[in-house]
Amino acid sequence: MLYHQKSQQVSYGEAIGILLLDSPVPFIPGDVANATTYDFPVRFKKVPGFTVAKALEKDESIYPAILQAAMDLKANGVRAVTGDCGFMALHQKRLKKDIEIPVFLSSLFQIPFIHYIIPDNAKIGIITASAKSLTKSFLNEIGIHETSGLAVEGLENCPEFKSAVLEEKGTLDTDLIEAEVVKATIDLTKKYENIKAILLECSVLPPYAIAIQNETGLPVFDYISMINFVFSAVVKSNYKGFM
């Protein structure tokens, strides 16, 4: 097989590009921003100045920096671009138009799919970094117009999550955050009847998905389930077996 150089690339084999917030949080295995989370190579690119605060405040002025970072990922061969904050969804429509490869910036984009696989009268429980930021108007703006089937619980008042992730204190206690996330999920299932699936909006939450599932018995969707799904679409594999 004959291979040809692609533009000015000096490395290859990274199909998924991940835009990172400009955040110093310790990103543990299972987090979107930890390369050992994946069974395949990924390529990271920090967006300078794109802080947690700017993401939660839905600051549109950061878009030029997002575009520049995404174009760098594309130039280095990625086949699809995602991010590490659900509130990046604000920039989804512009970015997919401007870079012309698949873009999937938020785990929230799994909502329509999840609705299709649970009963019509069931709810999706969403655990988010900030319930006050995950408003109906924001969901409408990113293309999610049917919100009556959603039940939201925020982590902005959980002490360890708030100090570690939102305030970026520099340390992160996984045991404490797991306990906070599981409690938030249980509280949500008690508050709303007929929750049949859980969706984790925040990119730091996938490491705790198994604890949530063990406690609730529900299917749990997160950034990693979405990234793995898109990877399987943009990088197909040969099948091996026998019959």
Q: Which fold has domain 107-222?
A: Rossmann fold (3.40.50)
pTM above 0.85, yes or no: yes
Averaged over 143-153, what is the pLDDT?
A: 94
Region(s) of the chain under CATH 3.40.50.1860? 16-106+227-234, 107-222
CATH class held by domain 16-106+227-234: alpha beta
pLDDT tens digits, 23-70: 999 999 999 999 999 999 999 999 999 999 999 988 899 999 999 999
Provide the edge-to-edge strand list for the sheet that holds 123-128. Answer: 150-154, 123-128, 195-200, 220-221
Distances (CA, A) of 104 to 93, 101, 212, 214: 10, 10, 24, 28
Residues 228, 198 contacting (CB under 8 angstroms):
no
At 122, phi and psi to the nearest 5? Answer: -85, 160
pLDDT tens by residue, 218-235:
999 999 999 999 999 999
| Measured distance CA(33)–CA(117) in Å, rounded | 29
153 near 185, Cβ under 8 Å? yes
- pLDDT score for 155: 98
> Which range has the worst mean pLDDT, 5-19, 78-92, 179-193, 221-235?
5-19
Query: Within a 10 A sphere around the Cβ of 27, how many other Cβ atoms?
Result: 21
